[in-house]
Chain A
Amino acid sequence: MMDRIQKALTEKGKKAFVPYIMAGDGGLETLKEKLLFLQECGADAVEIGIPFSDPVADGPTIQEAGIRALSRGTTLRKVLEKVQTFKPEISIPLILMTYLNPLVAYGLEKFSEDAAESGISGCIIPDLPLEEEDFILPALEEHEISLISLVTLTTPVERIKEIGSKATGFIYAVTVTGITGARNDFSEDLAAFLSSIKSVSRVPVLAGFGVSNAEQVREVCKHCDGVIVGSKIIDLFEQGDLAEIKRLVSTSEGVSLT
């Protein structure tokens, strides 16, 4: 049976576009308008970043957005409380991207309960590999929150198979060997990498890390089911360039389904 995220990413019959925003960047009071705007632009789901003091998987753009959010007093608890207030107005899945420690501090059971209550459909935890998943999986499963798995260019074939066979929601294919942030070009192996994940995954495969313009969105979408764009969306919100966000979000629609 398809979970909520899987369904949202496939039911429109187009390549998916999932933007990432940092909760609390620009003030938590802007979260609602940003989410409604992205929903209206046609985003198929939104990743909400939870700021963390030591984001080792993130590049400068997301690090700085996190520092701005923390300086405004953003906490996981406040984010969940805020989302709860406008939950009925959001019809696309919301996925939290958070490092593990804020969840540990919150309490894994309590977090899963409160996140579900706020309508959160999934979690991406960049410092939680397959080996440690049992740490939180039972709590998330109990509340029907998908744990999104990451696959990277350094993941061996056998491991991709193992991750692919267990994945829920979608598989997050990390398109660069590195941290988040805009890049000029991708590895030549990218097409083969994405195809190899597609061939073993029972859920959609979305590519992210370093995707920052329409051309890259179109290129990456040829080989998988959609894209995640983070740093670029953060920059555009920071510059107030909503028109460009709208254009970028709609780019994936034009890529024909393979």
Chain B
Amino acid sequence: MTTNTYDLPDEKGHFGNYGGRFVPETLMHAVLELEKEYNRALADEEFHADLQKLMKDYVGRETPLYLAGNLTEHAGGAKIYLKREDLNHTGAHKINNTVGQALLAVRMGKRKIVAETGAGQHGVATATVCALLNLECVIFMGKEDIRRQQLNVFRMELLGAKVISVDAGSGTLKDAVNEALRYWVTNVRDTHYILGSVMGPHPFPKMVRDFQSVIGKETKQQFFEKEGKLPDALVACIGGGSNSIGLFYPFIEDNSVSIYGVEAAGLGLATDKHAASLSKGKPGVLHGAMMYLLQDEDGQIQEAHSISAGLDYPGIGPEHSYLHDINRITYESVTDDEALEAFQLLSKLEGIIPALESAHAIAYAVKLAAGMSKDERIVVCLSGRGDKDVQTIKDRIGGGME
């Protein structure tokens, strides 16, 4: 493992063999312009000041690092800390990225925004900053996801966004990305695409990682204040991979920290109903980047399945693909049933209702902690709150007044 100096991606946006800019020529100018503007913004103190001000006063950062005592006791091993991204404004980590990208869009003079959304958290976070900065906002969302995330659709509309239903394919996140890309190709001159995860063409995977890495930077400092050292392990769920890379990135060079990414195993890895791109996929090109993809032997992309709309994507960001290949991160998976159980467990033990996505991380962390000693410590990224999932859970497990 040679991660002592880690400075990827390279200037063409490659993480080893992954990443790159595999987009139609119509988008190349916008993608190159975005990269230039992002680099200029990084060197501009005013941009950092604007971003930090919004992160503190509007988003509500920093978020707490919470020692989940009851969960720790239940697992019976390592101490479990939760990085509370669910306490951000809008209820998930997604807003860390949308604030940054919306500020960039304004710098580029683009007053129109398009975005895709799966669970609706990224859509809500995008609609929110668009309301704040008076930007026009169009959100593409799969038909199936609209069905299972009604509440978030209504929230986006309340915030002034136009939500467009995508019927193609399985009507989930992949199909929403396709339509958002087509919309961007058609409206690229005055529209910025706020991609919601560490995927897509360069510079998106790097830029989204950088905006999300506030999670890991805060965690590192908070953990040090509480424990005086580094954690032994990090755990986060992975769809496209943004909350996880946000937590992991500042620890990549700390080789003593074991890092675990948790994919959605859906009905199980032995079935064809899962979203485990790394465990069951192989490298290919989709949505602008080379990455691990669920695909058949002819290169047709397969439909992913997960009970959680935010993990229901057949690919995993290029940087994760690379970190998998060099064995810096261990990728595991958790089924729908295990996630449901963890969802209820955290609600009952800690009084925290997690997003179904984050419940995957909780489920794995409990297993991991049980096999570790009591003087070891795990940090789990609790990427979002579960209010949006309550209806799904109720339909699945029943309950309420009979």
Contacts and interface: CB of A to CB of B under 8 A. Distances in A.
Interface of A: 52-57, 59, 63, 70, 75-77, 99-106, 126-132, 135, 150-156, 159, 174, 177-179
B299 A54 contact: no
Given A56-B181, A156-B29, A105 B297 contact: yes
B299 A106 contact: yes
B284 A105 contact: yes
Contact of A56 (B185, B284, B299): B185
A131 B285 contact: no
Given A105-B299, A131-B21, A132-B21, A100 B285 contact: yes
Interface of B: 12, 20-30, 168-169, 174, 178, 181-182, 185-186, 188-189, 283-288, 290, 293, 295, 297-302
Contacts of B189: 154, 177
Given A127-B23, A154-B189, A101 B29 contact: no
Given A63-B168, A101-B286, A75 B28 contact: no
Contact of A102 (B21, B25, B298): B298
A56 B178 contact: yes
B283 A104 contact: yes
Contacts of A178: 26, 182, 185-186
Contact of A132 (B22, B29, B181, B293): B22
Contacts of B300: 52-53, 70, 102
Given A101-B284, A177-B185, 13 more contacts: A54-B174, A56-B178, A56-B181, A56-B185, A105-B297, A105-B299, A129-B21, A129-B25, A154-B26, A154-B28, A155-B29, A159-B29, A179-B185
A76 B185 contact: no
10 contacts: A52-B299, A54-B287, A55-B178, A101-B293, A101-B295, A129-B25, A131-B12, A150-B24, A151-B25, A154-B26
A129 B13 CA distance: 14
> Binding site of B, secondary structure by majority: helix, strand, loop or mixed?
mixed
Nearest to A51: B300
Contacts of B178: 54-56
A153 B26 contact: yes
Given A57-B185, A127-B285, A177-B188, A152 B299 contact: no
B299 A102 contact: yes
Contacts of A103: 299
Contacts of A55: 178
A189 to B, nearest CB: 12
Nearest to B28: A129
A48 to B, nearest CB: 16
Contacts of A156: 29
A99 B300 CA distance: 10
Nearest to A59: B182
A164 to B, nearest CB: 13
The 7 A-B pairs at the shortest CB distance, nearest first, are namely A105-B299, A178-B186, A102-B299, A75-B298, A152-B26, A101-B299, A53-B300
Contact of B24 (A75, A104, A127): A127
Contacts of B28: 129-131, 154-155, 159
A154 B27 CA distance: 8
B74 to A, nearest CB: 42
A218 to B, nearest CB: 25
Contacts of B12: 131
Contacts of A57: 24, 26, 182, 185
Residue of A56, A100, A102, A179 most packed against chain B (CB within 10 A)? A56
Nearest to A178: B186
Which of A151, A154, A156, A179 is most buried by chain B, counting CB atoms within 10 A of its CB? A154
A176 B288 CA distance: 21
B21 A154 contact: no
B60 to A, nearest CB: 36
B162 to A, nearest CB: 19
Contacts of A135: 20
A120 to B, nearest CB: 17
Nearest to B202: A131
B27, B28, B301: residue with the most chain A Cβ atoms closer than 10 Å = B28
A146 B222 CA distance: 57
A31 B167 CA distance: 29
